């Protein structure tokens, strides 16, 4: 898929009048374009990946998170050890896609615990993705890794995360996952 949209911008919705294969009941109903507000930068340190093997849902690997750190204008703190990723990898021709499924906890600088769950994909050329764990020279623009984040917190200071929509642009370098998270407004 090619696009003329530049990173950091949103492609505007097509005018409903140009979508002619469907009979629309409300073609005049105008929706706002989403905005992305930077939430935090994160670096997560990982243990060694463990290959589980081909099972009923695909070729699974797991990795436990050792910890890490995150910081942004509204929140900062550390990633608590013990979370992890339970990914399923699919190969197709010379490409590979990992379906990511993570769960972990943040501890904010002011003592709140936030549960984080991400889903998403890491996709790219198989030869590039095979080297991610060892070759820190691989840049994040040599593959695509995008995440959907869900967060939960019982602390009133961070209750706003319970109702937010969050996404991230991510990468992996050696034993780390690195991402920039955004709130969709």
CATH for 114:
2.40.160.20
Q: How far apart (Å, rounded) are the C-alpha atoms in residues 80 and 76? A: 13
Assigned domain for 170 exists: yes
- pLDDT tens profile 105-130: 999 999 999 999 999 999 999 999 98
DSSP state of 28: T
State how far the alpha carbon of 41 is from the alpha carbons of 77, 85, 102, 107, 179, in Å.
11, 19, 17, 15, 6
* pLDDT per residue as tens digits for the range 19-39: 999 999 998 898 999 999 999
Looking at the 3D structure of the chain, how many domains does it have?
Answer: 1
In a domain, 5, yes or no: no
Print the domain residue range for 46: 34-184
For the entire predicted model, the pTM comes to 0.92
């Amino acid at each position: 898929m090619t696009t003329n949209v530049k990173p950091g911008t949103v492609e505007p919705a097509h005018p409903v009048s140009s979508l002619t294969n469907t009979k629309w009941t409300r073609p005049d109903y105008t929706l706002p374009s989403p905005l992305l507000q930077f939430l935090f930068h994160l670096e997560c340190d990982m243990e060694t990946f463990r290959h589980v093997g081909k099972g009923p849902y695909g070729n699974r690997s797991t990795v436990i998170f050792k910890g890490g750190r995150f910081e942004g204008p509204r929140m900062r703190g550390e990633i608590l050890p013990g979370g992890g990723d339970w990914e399923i990898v699919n190969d197709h021709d010379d490409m590979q896609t990992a379906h990511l499924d993570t769960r972990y906890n943040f501890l904010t600088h002011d003592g709140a615990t936030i549960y984080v769950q991400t889903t998403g994909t890491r996709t790219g050329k198989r030869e590039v993705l095979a080297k991610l764990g060892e070759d820190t020279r691989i840049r994040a623009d040599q593959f695509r890794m995008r995440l959907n984040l869900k967060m939960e917190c019982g602390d009133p200071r961070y209750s706003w995360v319970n109702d937010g929509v969050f996404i991230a642009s991510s990468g992996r370098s050696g034993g780390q996952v690195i991402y920039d998270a955004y709130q969709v407004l």
